[in-house]
């Protein structure tokens, strides 16, 4: 059971209300409607809480998000029309959403599924992803290093920086070729570490629709159906274009279990924490209605820091996750964007806080992206290992939201004042032995020390 | 009827109501420059609050929209005034292949609030379109925003094209966007990189005088 009437949806791009430009729509529709729903549904943030424990608030955020999406619709930059959905259409799509998918194959087969708040049955789905560019000469090795991680259920591999000495550039042959090379490297890496059938979300190097289509090939590239995942973005804010619709069409026809990549900007068009929480929740509804996506990747981020680990953004993700878990059948993951870089204590603290705030709220971890997503080669599997181990331990402890909030507050004290400081750490070549693909001992010692410090705060690691 | 009321209407996004008071003030002899000065002061206060996250982008956009409505009326009187300086012109846009425009929009509002004349080319802008606009508008600076690592090369492409077109040195080339850095700006030969819109406005003011 799954409803997505693709061509009825795409036709909305030709027939919806006309606005000459996006700013006109923003000022006349988006902003006043956002102000209205924040007030009408009484969504308020106290400025202190990290993990929400108020179920009624989560339900109000869900209701506000649905109201907002139905009222505002999606602006199509190419047709200059707003693609609007009726309440009937939204309800039908949400009711028929499939709550779980068996993905990957063989011994790498896994369930990707909805979870509940403080879930006692379904462990989190561990999606490893540095969300960063890596130098082309180490790309395949970096993929192998990530794929070796024990908790890994799926991988979104690093992006390739260059193709044959030229920077991979959107809408150019270098992007298409780099996307193909990315997919080939990934297939090779999977075979070489003995995980040929693991589910990968491919390929991040392909920003455009044509590059995504070029990288799709069952023999050497992105595989069809449940074997691989793909992503299609919602542009900021509540916006799409024909390139995105092309991607959705291609993913649907290729049969992938694909997701909707969505990141509302805190401080942006939705305003403060409350509006951004509503917008981020609305994005999950939008992805299902507009693209027919099977899941969503949430990365609401800070306008100034481009990170997801500030106090208000952790609260926002806890509320979003609870709103989704309590009111829908939609699968979603929570994306960690940290401020700090590899081999810094700050990065470990940020990873721990994101894992605790989202797992106890019914989320699934996706990470770890580092140093505000700015620098090449500046991410390693080690911080991702830590991040996912904290998430897994939170699940095994059956940690409650109240307990998570208490620990998160202690952790926040460790890094909150450091957020404005550039603390970008080290590159993967510095932290790892790139021949054997293992971390150097001093960084393993740091990782061990950080686990001990977190254990002292109340997190019992599984191993 | 006072400049204070005009400022408040602008903050509230009531551009038309503000215009009525502006017309009345001017008819009673209030210099347009004084009104303009009050409005830019108010936008600067709003900008500072935005930087501190005390207000957010919608507040800035609504006030910016009202500011432009008021300026349509004020500019006739300002041009007529003796000794008014012609504002510096900045052409802005998001580079080709990139549809993200939030950063660029904030830059536009903040620059306007700081007295610059802003020509916004929108998103997914071809480098030739920037060059044409810079020539047409006699731009003092061109700002290129990029929000993705795969679109950052569009900034470098523009800088090369400006040199090939013989326009190098005619205006400042400014780059920005979440994945960019000062190291990137130096590598591609940009004149200005800034962390955010406020730093950008401050740097342009300093460089252009």
- Report CA-CA distances (Å) from A150 to A147, A191, A355, A368: 8, 16, 17, 15
Nearest beta carbon to residue B102 from set A35, A236, A275: A236
Q: Do A77 and A216 share a domain, yes or no?
A: no
Q: How far apart are CA A290 and CA A232, in angstroms?
A: 11
Q: Determine if residue B184 is left, alpha or beta; phi over 0 gives left, psi from -120 to 50 gives alpha, anything else beta.
A: alpha
Q: Do A90 and A119 share a domain, yes or no?
A: no
In a domain, A282, yes or no: no
Q: Do A336 and A195 share a domain, yes or no?
A: yes
pLDDT tens-digit readout, B25-58: 999 989 888 898 888 888 888 888 888 888 988 8
pLDDT value of position B150? 84
Residue A373 to residue B153, Cβ atoms within 8 A: no
- On the CB side of A67, CA atoms within 13 Å amount to 18
Nearest beta carbon to residue B179 from set A27, A241, A374: A374
pLDDT value of position B79? 64
Q: Give the number of domains in chain A.
A: 2
Interior angle at CA A119, CA A116 and CA A121, nearest 5: 115
pLDDT reading at B85 higher than 70? no
β-bridge partners, A298: A262, A334
In a domain, A315, yes or no: yes
Residue A268 to residue B102, Cβ atoms within 8 A: yes
Q: Do A114 and A36 share a domain, yes or no?
A: no
Q: Do A85 and A61 share a domain, yes or no?
A: yes
In a domain, A140, yes or no: yes
In a domain, A271, yes or no: no
Q: Do A190 and A293 share a domain, yes or no?
A: yes
Judge if ipTM > 0.85. Answer: no
Q: Do A342 and A388 share a domain, yes or no?
A: yes
Last residue of a domain, one of A95, A112, A146: A95
pLDDT value of position A1? 53
Q: Do A414 and A380 share a domain, yes or no?
A: yes
Last residue of a domain, one of A80, A95, A110: A95
Which pairing describes strands A239-240 and A265-266: parallel, antiparallel, or unpaired?
A: unpaired
Last residue of a domain, one of A79, A95, A111: A95
Please, what are the domains in chain B?
3-80 (1.10.1240.10), 89-208 (3.40.50.280)
In a domain, A279, yes or no: no
Name the interface residues of A facing B (CB cutoff 8 Å): 21-23, 26-27, 31, 34-35, 77, 133, 159, 161, 167-171, 175, 205, 207-208, 235-237, 239, 241, 265, 267-272, 275, 303-304, 306, 372-375
Residue spans of beta strands (DSSP E) within chain B? 89-94, 117-120, 141-145, 172-176, 192-193
- Report CA-CA distances (Å) from B15 to A84, A174, B7, B43, B172: 29, 48, 10, 14, 33
In a domain, A463, yes or no: no
Q: For chain B, what percent of residues have pLDDT higher than 90?
A: 49
Q: Do A89 and A108 share a domain, yes or no?
A: no
In a domain, A276, yes or no: no
Q: Do A50 and A110 share a domain, yes or no?
A: no
- Asked whether A135 and A159 are in contact (CB, 8 A), the reply is no
Q: Do A240 and A188 share a domain, yes or no?
A: yes
In a domain, A1, yes or no: no
Residue B97 to residue A22, Cβ atoms within 8 A: no
Digitized pLDDT (tens) for each residue of chain A, 463 residues in all: 566 788 999 999 999 999 988 888 998 999 999 999 999 999 999 999 999 999 999 999 999 999 999 999 999 999 999 999 999 999 999 999 999 999 999 999 999 999 999 999 999 999 999 999 999 999 999 999 999 999 999 999 999 989 999 999 988 999 999 999 999 999 999 999 999 999 999 998 888 999 999 999 999 999 999 999 999 999 988 999 999 999 999 999 999 999 999 999 999 999 999 999 999 999 999 999 999 999 999 999 998 899 999 999 999 999 999 999 999 999 999 999 999 999 999 999 999 999 999 999 999 999 999 998 888 999 999 999 999 999 999 999 999 999 999 999 999 999 999 999 999 999 999 999 999 999 999 999 999 999 999 999 999 999 9
Q: How far apart are CA A427 and CA A409, in angstroms?
A: 29
Structural domain including A321 reads 102-265+287-456
Q: Do A341 and A197 share a domain, yes or no?
A: yes
For residue A22, the chain B residues in CB contact (below 8 A) are 101
């Amino acid at each position: 059971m799954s409803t997505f009437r693709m061509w009825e949806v795409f036709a909305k791009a030709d027939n919806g209300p006309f606005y000459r430009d996006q700013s006109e729509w923003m000022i006349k529709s988006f902003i006043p409607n956002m102000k209205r729903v924040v007030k009408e549904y009484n969504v308020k943030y106290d400025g202190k809480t990290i993990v929400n424990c108020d179920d009624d608030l989560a339900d109000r955020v869900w209701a506000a998000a649905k109201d907002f999406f139905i009222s505002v619709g999606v602006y199509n930059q190419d047709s200059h029309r707003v693609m609007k959905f009726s309440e009937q259409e939204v309800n039908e799509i949400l009711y028929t959403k499939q709550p779980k998918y068996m993905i990957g194959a063989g011994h790498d087969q896994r369930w990707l599924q909805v979870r509940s708040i403080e879930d006692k049955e379904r462990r989190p789905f561990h999606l490893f992803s540095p969300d960063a560019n890596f130098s082309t000469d180490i790309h395949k090795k970096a993929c192998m290093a990530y794929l070796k991680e024990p908790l890994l259920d799926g991988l979104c591999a690093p992006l390739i920086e260059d193709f044959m000495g030229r920077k991979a550039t959107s809408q150019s042959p270098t992007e298409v070729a780099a996307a193909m090379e990315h997919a080939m490297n990934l297939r090779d890496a999977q075979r070489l570490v003995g995980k040929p059938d693991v589910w990968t979300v491919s390929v991040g190097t392909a920003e455009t629709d044509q590059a995504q289509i070029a990288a799709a090939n069952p023999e050497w590239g992105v595989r069809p159906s449940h074997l691989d995942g793909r992503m299609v973005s919602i542009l900021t804010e509540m916006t799409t274009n024909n390139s995105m619709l092309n991607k959705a069409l291609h993913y649907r026809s290729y049969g992938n279990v694909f997701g909707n990549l969505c990141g509302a900007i805190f401080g942006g068009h939705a305003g403060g924490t409350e509006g951004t929480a509503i917008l981020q929740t609305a994005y999950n509804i939008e992805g299902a209605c507009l693209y027919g996506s099977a899941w969503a990747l949430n990365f609401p981020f800070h306008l100034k820091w481009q990170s997801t680990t500030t106090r208000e953004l952790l609260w926002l993700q806890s509320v979003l996750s609870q709103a989704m878990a309590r009111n829908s059948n939609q699968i979603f993951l929570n994306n960690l964007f940290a401020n700090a870089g590899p081999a810094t204590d700050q990065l470990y603290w940020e990873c721990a806080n994101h894992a605790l705030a989202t797992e106890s709220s019914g989320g699934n971890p996706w990470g770890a992206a580092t140093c505000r997503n700015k620098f090449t080669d500046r991410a390693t599997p080690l911080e991702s290992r830590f991040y996912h181990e904290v998430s897994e331990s939170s699940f095994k402890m059956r940690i409650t939201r109240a307990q998570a909030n208490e620990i998160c507050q202690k952790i926040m004290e460790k890094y909150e004042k450091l957020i404005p400081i550039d603390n970008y750490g080290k590159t993967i070549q510095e932290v790892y032995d790139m021949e054997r693909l293992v971390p150097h001992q001093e960084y393993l010692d740091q990782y061990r020390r950080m686990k001990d410090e977190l254990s002292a705060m109340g997190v019992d690691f599984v191993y | 009827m006072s400049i204070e009321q005009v400022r408040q209407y602008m903050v509230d996004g009531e551009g038309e109501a503000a215009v009525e008071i502006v017309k009345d003030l001017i008819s009673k002899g209030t210099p347009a420059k004084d009104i303009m000065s009050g409005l830019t002061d108010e936008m600067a206060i709003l900008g500072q609050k935005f930087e501190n996250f005390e207000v957010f982008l919608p507040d800035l956009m609504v006030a910016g929209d009202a500011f432009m409505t008021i300026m349509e009326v004020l500019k006739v009187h300002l041009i007529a005034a003796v000794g008014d300086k012609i504002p510096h012109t900045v052409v802005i846009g998001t580079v080709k292949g990139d549809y993200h425009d939030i950063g660029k929009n904030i830059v536009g509002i903040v620059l306007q609030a700081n007295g610059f004349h802003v020509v916004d080319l929108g998103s997914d802008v071809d480098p030739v379109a920037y060059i044409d606009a810079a020539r047409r508008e006699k731009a003092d600076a061109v700002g290129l925003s990029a929000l993705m690592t795969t679109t950052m090369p569009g900034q470098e492409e523009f800088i090369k094209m400006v040199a090939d077109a013989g326009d190098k040195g005619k205006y400042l080339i400014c780059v920005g966007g979440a994945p960019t850095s000062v190291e990137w700006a130096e590598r591609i030969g940009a004149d200005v990189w800034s962390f955010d819109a406020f730093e950008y406005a401050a740097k342009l003011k300093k460089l252009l005088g």
